[in-house]
Structure 1
Amino acid sequence: MTYLKAGSATLLVFSLFFSLKLQAMTDDKPYSLGIGSYALTISADDSGYEDDDFSGLLLNATYAFNDNVGARFNYYTLEHDDWSDLENDGFDILGYYGTGLLSEGFKAYIGGGVYRETWEVSGTDFDESFSGFQLNGGIGYHWPAVTIDLTLALRSTGDYEDFAEIDTSAIASALSIGFRF
């Protein structure tokens, strides 16, 4: 009789552990940490000027409040494509509204936020900061432990225009892969 009680208790503990483990494996994972590439193009509206193109490394952290609302922090470090001494370090803070932000499968979202960056020229004292608002959108896909995102941002250009004294437009894009938890 004692053997049956011990066996039943073991079976009960095993069943409870297995169901908790199974539930943990299927729970939504609201956090992700990612790495990827980031590109920024600042175009002069006057055809006499060339575009300023930057590209480089992106690190990001994302939190999905639910399947429709999320937030992301991007940190990027870029280099000018034509003049490698010009470096650009900055960050974006973004809010998103969309579908599939928490669950596995396809996701699409729109939103906005702010950016702040600093341009520096290696070996000089040159240091110029830019900031503003941006509108964002993106698509991606969630697997159980991995996420991938492709985003596009249209930036406000007031600081760029004050610096260059010409009308500009600015577009940023990012491709990242991340670990979900």
Structure 2
Amino acid sequence: MSGSRLWMAAALLGASAATMAEPTNFRVGVGSFQLDSDPAPAYLPDNSDTGFSVFAEMPQSDNTATRFMLYRIDQDDKFTTGFQTQLMWGVGLSQPGFRAYTGPSWHHEKTRIGRPGKNHQVFNGWGWQLGLGYQYKAVTVDLAGTVRDPHDYRTENRRAGLGKKTPSVYTTSLLISYRF
């Protein structure tokens, strides 16, 4: 009886070790980040200003994932820092190979502005993102973009004296991550 218990314990220990050896789908990564608002005051970032991002991503299934991204742009007297959350619906989100996704996002950012009496402005809002990527073993590379609700940017344009024209606001990112 003690021999069978020993074999049973060894089998359970081996099974748990095999399970622990399997990587999770949790990913951590870095990337480039661009924000463009057109038309916009000269003190807001445009597509010639590139920053960086760090992010964490967790696929819940092959078709659903979430991502949280911190980003910063600090170039040519333009400074923006913020975060973006993303819900991703797509294919290939939890396995090696091609992946494509879309879904809603929400951002909150603080931008240095050049209006008298105020040195920064907070921008919040929803957006819709699209992304394509490829996962090879534990490394994933994605190209992603988000179209943002222009409300806060349009308000800033009016405050800066640019009229009521609605700007096109979008972000682009090239991301690389490692799966743990």
Q: TM-score, normalised by structure 1?
A: 0.78
Q: 1:44 touches 1:51 (CA, 8 Å); kept in 2?
A: no
Q: 2:32 touches 2:174 (CA, 8 Å); kept in 1?
A: yes
Aligned length: 166
Q: Which has the larger radius of gyration?
A: 1
Q: 1:152 is matched with which residue?
A: 145
3-state SS of paired residue (1:147): strand
3-state SS of paired residue (2:61): coil
Q: TM-score, normalised by structure 2?
A: 0.79
CA separation in 1, counterparts of 2:45 and 2:122? 19
CA separation in 2, counterparts of 1:178 and 1:30? 11
Aligned residue identity for 2:172: S
- Where structure 1 has 5 or more consecutive residues not aligned to the other structure, the ranges are none
- CA offset at residue 51 of structure 1? 8.0
Per-residue CA deviations over 1:10-33 (Å, capped at 9, x if unaligned) read 8x84x7666544444445x22111
For the pair 1:57 / 2:65, whether they are aligned, the reply is no
Q: 2:105 touches 2:128 (CA, 8 Å); kept in 1?
A: yes
Q: 1:103 is matched with which residue?
A: 95
Q: 2:64 touches 2:93 (CA, 8 Å); kept in 1?
A: yes
- Deviating above 3 A after TM superposition, structure 1's stretches of 4 or more consecutive aligned residues are 15-27
Q: 1:91 is matched with which residue?
A: 83
Which residue, 133, 158, 161 being the options, matches 2:126? 133
Per-residue CA deviations over 1:61-92 (Å, capped at 9, x if unaligned) read 11111111111011100134xxx222000110
Percent identity for Structure 1 against Structure 2: 26
